[in-house]
Each structure stands twice: as structure tokens, then as C-alpha cells.
Amino acid sequence: MIKIVVAGFKGKMGMTATKMVRDHEGFELVGVLDPHAKETNLNELAEFSTVDVPIFNDKETVVKTVKTDVWIDFTIPSVAYENTRFALEQGIRPVVGTTGFSETEVNELVNLSQKQALGGLIAPNFAIGAVLMMQFSAKAAKYFPDVEIIEMHHDNKLDAPSGTAIKTAEMIYAERGEHQQGHPDEKESIPGARGADYHGMKIHSVRLPGLVAHQQVQFGSTGEGLTIRHDSYDRASFMTGVALGCEKVMDLKELVYGLENLL
Amino acid sequence: MIKIVVAGFKGKMGMTATKMVRDHEGFELVGVLDPHAKETNLNELAEFSTVDVPIFNDKETVVKTVKTDVWIDFTIPSVAYENTRFALEQGIRPVVGTTGFSETEVNELVNLSQKQALGGLIAPNFAIGAVLMMQFSAKAAKYFPDVEIIEMHHDNKLDAPSGTAIKTAEMIYAERGEHQQGHPDEKESIPGARGADYHGMKIHSVRLPGLVAHQQVQFGSTGEGLTIRHDSYDRASFMTGVALGCEKVMDLKELVYGLENLL
Amino acid sequence: MIKIVVAGFKGKMGMTATKMVRDHEGFELVGVLDPHAKETNLNELAEFSTVDVPIFNDKETVVKTVKTDVWIDFTIPSVAYENTRFALEQGIRPVVGTTGFSETEVNELVNLSQKQALGGLIAPNFAIGAVLMMQFSAKAAKYFPDVEIIEMHHDNKLDAPSGTAIKTAEMIYAERGEHQQGHPDEKESIPGARGADYHGMKIHSVRLPGLVAHQQVQFGSTGEGLTIRHDSYDRASFMTGVALGCEKVMDLKELVYGLENLL
Amino acid sequence: MIKIVVAGFKGKMGMTATKMVRDHEGFELVGVLDPHAKETNLNELAEFSTVDVPIFNDKETVVKTVKTDVWIDFTIPSVAYENTRFALEQGIRPVVGTTGFSETEVNELVNLSQKQALGGLIAPNFAIGAVLMMQFSAKAAKYFPDVEIIEMHHDNKLDAPSGTAIKTAEMIYAERGEHQQGHPDEKESIPGARGADYHGMKIHSVRLPGLVAHQQVQFGSTGEGLTIRHDSYDRASFMTGVALGCEKVMDLKELVYGLENLL
């Protein structure tokens, strides 16, 4: 049984992680942390009424009170760096989903983890399916340089292309480099038809009510096509990746950045 | 048995039509026409060695020599109008796939057909599947105004969006009118990501080697999605529509424009 | 403003309908009904704290207290028939999503509505997208008799094929009749590969975690394919159809069975 | 420039390979072989009228007359083994697409190649896209054990499931082992709905006119889905793999079986 603490348990992701740890048969939830929580035990909350687990308000009390192997962190950027450093110093393996770490911060934390010979994971994206989609796309691009990305999201999303689409394009670019696609003389009779151009590959952003988060990476070659698609229907999908992270960090000897390095 | 002549039989479409008529059990091929043909019978051509059908060089000889019910025309724009008028005058029902008729020409031909009480069909697109896709899309747009079109073609296509995508968008627009889609504050970090804008709906053009001609019309509404997709793999697909046209014109009393009016 | 009462408002569907009516700008929620409700006004419930609408325990009190145009019913089979009859007798147009009506009951209610010259709707399925998918499929089958249905659901669904798949197959069968598909000599090396057979057409049931409710109707013909797909992500999708029903019954002069008759 | 001979050049695959070698800028076509050919040079054939390359009737004459690096073989099973052995003995790297080698034969050829320290490739399937689909599927199955395969082919295919589907299932099984899918109590109201069962995973075979050869491997997990799809439109797709094989064997020191070992 891996003993786990969840920091930031009152946020949406933290709450989902708390439930995942409670339900996972290989994990033991030994505590949860939130500086503003007024309750002192999870069983004071309606949805955890039978779960006898202490709620802490500060990290120092956590380590004084319970023994823990893994520190799951879904707090906020301004707190996550301190938490991660603290966990490593205390010999606890961090599994961090909070985003916003600078490169310098990540490097410091990796160095610290190496000194401690302690595993850890910081992952901006815990969706295993999305990470596999990106890895497979990068590999396929070695053989099929012609590729377009179609990403589809609900219509209250503000940015286009999505972060995942851009990350995928970067990984494909790293494999195949610059490559002119389409006919050199192609013309758009309505601007934007051919999508966003990223080093020659095209990205198309679909926004419709009803959609959740979907991406299709489509490769074409003489007489054939290869398509890799990821559909995300629910935030709960991230938890498969968080659980995998908690298991893998037990065997690692340093902190790694990105779930892809564990797959 | 419907007796049929094929004009323009040496072109790609005409040749495919000739084979279709020969193979269709309800049709009898009574002649083919090409002003430059040197052969006088189809059996002089390798692929028709057992087909005893006369080849004509001019339309007047056709009507003097054989009795025919339907005139299939896959000639060139400069010839097709004359041919269609001639067929109607001779009491023969035209089924015309040549494009480029002006609105005035179409109106004249419709008037002539009404005087003769004779059926006929001019269709810029004979792919039944494509026509159904457009009809279904127009109907769905009544209930689902949020829609995006993704059309996918081989990468030697020059124009984007495709003609079929624009036609589809026009038919949707006729049903639902102007409609702002996506979030009012959405932003493209790379221009073109959100595609071509046609009265609020978005069109995305994918171009990849290996693809043939495909289109996906995607509707979204609260909690659900409806997608209508057409895949065209081969020019032979048009012949299902040509055959349908030959059958339907026998019962019509005037010439109609567009296969959609027969479905 | 159409005045609406919701019967069975404490069930999942009834609650979703109540919210829809409250949020819809063309509708006015004049009352809700549940025999076991202890509250007397919606504003006693947390999620409706600002909504001043009376809660009733019996249908007689509803009609004595408020004037209403439409009666939405998401109760239980044993109650729905009585409710629907009562609504019609009171000059209120019923929009009923409860299932389990016998054919005799439906006929009686239709007769009663005709005497009253009053519109009404009983619909086992309010998902407009699903109904359009079925209608389009039936129409396409006239021209493309070769069709297979792939339906995909979460893996805790017990029955295969789904009810929607069977309904779709029935509607296709009504159009095209019996039709042998596939090669006459095809062989399954593992039984079940070719799916369930319904009068020659094949149905394939996919069951996977993560999926919600999806169906793809795939037609094939020489050189082309036509695919119609419906994705249902959320129960809320039904409400587009309920809202449409409430609007349409205002103009009808009799009760109709099935949302498809309003599209 | 890699010098290449094509054996079996008069068959469909051999002819396609001959054209590929002629058109590929890194390859030089030094000869073609067919025991029954009456021509002595490719330029006697209409489609190669400008290609001055000798046609040979027996393998001994090939090696006496031209120097060659790679021997492409698309002959027939009874000849291919002898040809491959002969090529290796002569210091020529074989790239063989003929199927039907026994395990013993493959082992002998591998041993011979190792003695000669010579690269070579025997591949039953040269479609890179199909091989990538299988590799990606096997990898994804480590994290997503719930998977169904939907393969779609034209309706004159006799066997179901397809060979590629079974190969894919075997590769997935090697990674994830036996795994019960779907609800334990699920019931088929029409037999076959849930498809063919292979160690718990389900395979569905769609057969429709118009389709060519397509396969979709669909994974599901809590809240997400991952789909890998390959579309094969044309035999020419194999040539990307043959070309890759010709390049890779130049660096290998032994014969390998299966294109997947080069990717």
C-alpha cells in the first residue's frame, strides 16, 4: 500500500484525486491539505462521511503527524513550487499537476530529487490518452511527413489552436522538421480555409456546443492514411495518469517532467 | 428497356457512362457519339470488343439511324447546350453532366422541355451520396444552427474550400441564416485556426496525399452532436446517379436542374 | 410566453426539464407537481432559491390554481396515462416523455385530443439528433441499400444491440426491405465477427468504458460511402427536443406520437 | 544510388515496384526478371518506352550481367525461397514481399544472412501505416486494456475478421493478456451483436461496397477514448514500405522478418 497525501484537495482536480486515492486498492489516503479548510477530518464532509482521514492546514503538520510516500499536489502556482521542494526535502515523492513552473524551478527540483535519489513527477497533462496520441504522432511523422491536426472543443473555449494541438505540432516538428504541405499553388477563396500553419503543417480548430475535448491527428501518404484520435469526455480521465504517476515514482530515483517520460 | 445514347463517350466520364449503360440490365446502349472518333463501331475498341454498337460523328445521324429514349451528355460546355436543345427538339430526354450552363440557358431548356412535356436532367454533381449529405445538412441546420464543415481532399487540389463545401454552406445558410458561432471573445494565436467563415459557420479544408474526396458536416447542440459524412473514392460513384437520372426522366414532364430534385 | 407546468419534477428528467423551462426565454414556468413533495415553493430548494413557483401535490389543485398552456410529464408509467388524459380534458397540451404507453392508450389519447382539437406529444425519445439520424438513414436506404450500424456505449450497458439501433434498423427495413449484404460465401473464422443480422443488414455493438452513447449508420455504394453519426454526451441533450415539443404543440390540433412527426 | 533488380516484375505488385524504383531518386533500376518474358528490354513495353533496362529470364544471367545491391522479390511462393537464398549467396540484399515462407525457411535464410553479414527483409505486409497502427495499438493496450477492433472492407472479401485484425489482436493480447470486457451480464438480443471474441477483446467486421481496406482500433478508459485508424485506398501504399526496406537493408547485417522490426 502506497501512503498518499493530497494537497489542494478542495479544488476540482484535488477533490477528484482524493476520491481516486480513496477508491484505489493499492493506495492509502493518509491525509489531505488545504490552508483554508475549517474541517479537521474528511468525515465531516457529506461525500466522505465514512472516510476517517485527517485534514491539515499546513504542510509542516502533515509530516509531523503522518508517514507518507507520495505527495499529490493540485494547488495553485504560487504554492506548488514550495510544496514540491518541501516534499522532496522530507523524503516524500511529489506527483504534481499544478502548472506554471518555470524552467529554472523545474531544474532546481530535479537537482534536489537527484541528491535525495527520490522519484517525482510534474505533469502539465495527466491524460494518458493525450500523451500517447502525441507520442504516436511524433513517431508516425518520421514516415509520414504530411499531417494535419483537427482539434475540437466546446464553444466556450477562448484560444485556438488548443494547447494540446500546439504541443502535438511541436513534437511532430521535432521529428520531421519544416515541410511544405499541400499544393504550392493552392488558393483560399475564403481566408482561413487551410487552417493555421505551423512549420508547414496545418491545424484546424472546431468549436461547437456539446463537444468536450477531442483531437484528431491525420497523416496521409501515397494510397493510405493513418489517424490518431483522442477523446476526452470527463476530468476523471486525468486520474488514470495520476494513479500511474503515484505507482511509477516509487521506483524512480529522480523527478521527471512530463507524463510522457513514464510511458 | 430504356434505349440510351452517350454523347462525349471518349472522355473519362463518358467512357464510364458507356460502360454503366452497357452493364445495366434495364438499359440498352443504342449508340455513342464523338465528332472526332475514327472508329464506326464500339467493337473496334479493345475494351468493347464484343459490343456491337454504332459510333456516330454528328447528332443528326444519330437520330436518323437509331431510336433512343435518353441522351446522356458528357461533352464540353460549348457543345452541351446545343446537344441538349437538339435532344429535346427530337423528343429525346437529356441527362446532362456537362457543367457551365448559364441561368438563361437552363431556363430556355426548361421552357422547351415543358412545351414538349418531356423529362430531362442537368446535374453539376451526380454523386447521390454528396447530394444526400447536402440535403440532410440543410434539414439538420433547422434544429442545430451550430455547424462546421471539414472537407478533405488529396493535396493536388488547388482551391479551398471545395465547391461542394461552399454549396453545402449555401444550403445551410438558406435554412438557418446568419448565426454567430464560437465564443464572441475567441482568439486565434495562429491565424486561420478557426477556418474560413461563411456567415458565421466555419469551413476547414484538409489536404493530404492519399485522400480522395471526403466531407464531414458536424453539428453540435447541448449535450449532443450530429455528423454527416460523405466519402468519394472513385469517379464510378457518379454512375449510380446517372442511372437514377435515366430512370427518373422517363416519368418527368419537364427538365429539372440538380439531382437533388429527384431524391 | 407559453405557460408550462412540469409533472414529475423531482426525477432526473423532470428536474432537467424544470431548469430548461425556467431558462428558456419563450417559456413561463407556472407550477411543478410531485405527489410526495414536502416543499410548497421551488424557492425552498437550494438550486432554485430565487425561483418563486408553486409546488403542487395533486393535479386537480394545479388547474384550480394556475392557468397553463402545456403540461410536461416525466412521471412514471402508472401515472402518466392518467395525467395525459387529465391534461387534455382540461384543455392543456401534454408533452410527455414517460415511456410505457400501450397502443390502445395512445389511440384513446389521440382520439380525445382530436375531439378537443388540442395539440400534444408523446415521445419515447426526445433527442432531436437521434431522431434526425434515423430519418436520414431511412431516406438514404432508398438509394443505398447496403448499410451497417455501429452503435457504441459505455460498458455497463446490458443489452446489445441498443434500442436505438434496432429502431433505426426497423426504419431502414421499412424503406428497403430484405436485402442480402456481404459476399454470399463470406465466412466467419471467429463467430460474431459479422455482427447481428437484421433482415440482411448488420449491427455491431461496441462497449467500452469512457463512451457515453453513440451510433454510426454507414452506407456503401460503388465508389462512395455515406455515414450518419449521432453522439449523445449528456441527458441535457433531450431538452432541445422537449422545448421544440412545447412550441409545436401550440399549433397542432391533435396529439402525435414520436418526435419524428414534428421534424 | 542503390542499384536494384526487381524479380517478378510482370505481376501487379512487381510492376508497381518497378515503377517505384524507376521514379525514386535514390534508386537505380539495373534489371528486371521474369522467366516467361519475351521482351529483352523494358523499353519494348508501352509504359516504359523511354526506360532502357534489361529484362532477364533467369537469375544466373542477372548476376553475370549487372552489379546490384538489392533484390526486390514479388514472385510466387515456390520460387521466392530459391531466389532469396540465391541473392544472399551472391552478396545481394533481398527485399521480399512474396508470402508463404515456412518458419524453417525463414530461419535458414536468417542464418545464411548472418554468415554473409548481409541485410535483408521478408515482409508479409509492406504498408507502413498498418504496421504503425499495430505497434501503437500494442503499446496503448498496456495502459488501456479495454479495446475493440472495427475493420471495414469491400463486400467481396470472404474472410472475417481480416488477417490484419487478427494480427493486431494477437499483438494486443501479447501486451495485456486475457481481459474480460463489457458488463459480465450483457446479453445479445440478436446473436453476433457484440462481435467476435478474441481473449476478451471484440472484433467487428464491416463489409460494404465502396470501401477499400480500413481498420479502427478503439480504446476506452474512464472519461476518455483513444482511437487509431488506418485507411488503405490503393496498392501503391505498399511502395513506401518497399522503398524504406531497400534503404534500411543497406545498413543491416542480417535478414529480418517483418517490416515492424525496421520502424
Domains identified in chain A and CATH numbers: 2-122+236-262 (3.40.50.720), 128-232 (3.30.360.10)
Task: Band the pLDDT of B136: cuts 50, 70, 90.
Answer: very high
pLDDT of residue B235: 79
D10 is annotated as contributing to ligand binding: yes
Q: What residues of D are in contact with residue B233 (Cβ under 8 Å)? A: 210, 212, 233
For residue B181, pLDDT beyond 90:
yes
Tell me the C-alpha distance between B100 and B73, whole Å: 13
Mean pLDDT over each residue of chain C, to the nearest integer? 95
**Contact call for residues B105 and B81 (beta carbons, < 8 A):** yes
- Strand, helix or coil for residue B215: strand
Percent of chain A exceeding pLDDT 90 equals 93
pLDDT string in tens for chain C (263-residue length): 999 999 999 999 999 999 999 999 999 999 999 999 999 999 999 889 999 999 999 999 999 999 999 999 999 988 999 999 999 999 999 999 988 899 999 999 999 999 999 999 999 889 899 999 999 999 999 999 999 999 999 999 999 999 999 999 999 999 999 999 999 999 999 999 999 999 999 999 999 999 999 999 999 999 999 999 999 998 788 999 999 999 999 999 999 999 999 98
Indicate whether this complex's ipTM tops 0.90: no
Query: Which DSSP letter does residue D18 get?
Result: H
pLDDT (tens digit per residue) in B56-72 = 999 999 999 999 999 99
Task: Establish if C233 touches chain A: CB-CB under 8 angstroms.
Answer: yes
Residue A112 phi, psi dihedral angles, 5° rounding = -60, -45
Which one of C130, C144, C223 has the shortest CB-CB distance to B235? C223
pLDDT attached to residue D99: 81
pLDDT of residue C140: 98
Contact between D244 and A133 using a beta-carbon 8 Å cutoff: no
Is the predicted pLDDT of residue A135 greater than 90, yes or no?
yes
The total of other beta-carbon atoms located within 10 Å of residue C121's CB is 27
* CA of residue D4 relative to chain centroid, distance: 19
Asked if pLDDT for residue A33 goes beyond 90, the answer is: yes
**C152 a known binding residue?**
no
A169: pLDDT strictly greater than 90: yes
Nearest CA in chain A to B204: A193
Quick one: pLDDT band at residue A212, thresholds 50, 70, 90?
very high
Q: Flag if D185 and C224 touch (Cβ within 8 Å).
A: no
A139–D128: do the CB atoms touch at under 8 Å? no
C-alpha cell at D193: 451483436
**What is the rounded distance in angstroms from the CA atom of residue D82 to the CA atom of residue C164?**
57
Measure in Å the smallest separation between the Cα of D30 and chain A Cα atoms: 24
Amino acid B66: pLDDT: 97
pLDDT given at position B225: 97
Catalytic annotation on C153? yes
Identify the pLDDT of residue D44: 95
Q: Is C98 on the interface with A (CB under 8 A)?
A: no
**C117 Cβ under 8 Å from any chain B Cβ:** no
pLDDT for position C228: 98
Distance from CA of D90 to the nearest CA of B (A): 38
Task: Give backbone dihedrals phi and psi of D45, rounded to 5 degrees, phi first.
Answer: -95, 140
Residue of A nearest to C230 (CA): A210
Q: Outline where DSSP puts E strands in C34-146.
A: 55-56, 70-73, 93-96, 120-122
pLDDT value, residue B234: 86
Nearest Cα of chain D lies from the Cα of A207 at a distance, in angstroms, of 19
Size of chain D, expressed as the number of residues it contains:
263
User: DSSP 3-state assignment of B226?
Assistant: strand
Nearest residue to D108 (alpha-carbon basis) of D258, D262, D254, D261:
D254
Which position among B153, B202, B204, B230 bears the catalytic label? B153
pLDDT in tens, chain D (263 residues): 999 999 999 999 999 999 999 999 999 999 999 999 999 999 999 889 999 999 999 999 999 999 999 999 999 988 999 999 999 999 999 999 988 899 999 999 999 999 999 999 999 889 899 999 999 999 999 999 999 999 999 999 999 999 999 999 999 999 999 999 999 999 999 999 999 999 999 999 999 999 999 999 999 999 999 999 999 998 788 999 999 999 999 999 999 999 999 98
Which H or E run includes C197? strand C196-198
Size of interface A-B (CB pairs under 8 A): 166
Check CB contact under 8 Å for A240 and D227: no
Does residue B263 sit at the C interface (CB-CB below 8 Å)? yes
Q: Name all chains with 3 or more CB-CB pairs below 8 Å to chain D.
A: A, B, C
The contacts of residue A39 (CB under 8 Å, 6+ apart) are: A45, A55
- In this complex, which chains have at least 3 CB pairs below 8 Å with chain B? A, C, D
Q: Which chains have 3 or more CB–CB distances shorter than 8 Å to chain A?
A: B, C, D
Cα A262 to Cα A239: distance, rounded to the nearest angstrom: 15
Is B233 in contact with D233 (Cβ distance < 8 A)? Answer: yes
Q: Is B144 on the interface with C (CB under 8 A)?
A: yes
Kindly name the residue from D19, D153, D230, D248 that is annotated as catalytic: D153
How many other β-carbons are positioned within 10 Å of the β-carbon of residue B157? Answer: 17
Q: What's the whole-number average pLDDT of chain B?
A: 95
Give the pLDDT confidence score for residue D96 in this predicted structure. 97
What is d(CA D250, CA D241) in angstroms, rounded to the nearest whole number? Answer: 15
Q: Which of B129, B224, B229 sits opposite C232 (nearest CB)?
A: B224
C109-161 pLDDT, tens per residue? 999 999 999 999 999 889 899 999 999 999 999 999 999 999 999 999 999 99
> How confident is residue A95, by pLDDT bands cut at 50, 70 and 90?
very high
Indicate the residue type of A56.
F
Nearest residue in chain A measured CA to CA from B182: A155
Instruction: Report how far apart, in Å, the C-alpha atoms of D80 and of each of A181, A252, D57, D247, D258 are.
Output: 39, 50, 15, 21, 16
Q: What confidence category does residue B146 fall into, taking pLDDT thresholds of 50, 70 and 90?
A: very high
Q: pLDDT tens-digit profile of A138-156?
A: 999 999 999 999 999 999 9
Closest chain A residue to B149, measured at CA: A206
Kindly state whether C212 is in contact with chain A, defined as any CB-CB distance less than 8 angstroms: yes
Write out the E strands in C74-162: 93-96, 120-122, 147-153, 159-160
Best residue of A232, A233, A237, A239 to probe chain C, by most C CBs closer than 10 Å:
A233
Asked if D157 is an active-site residue, the reply is: yes
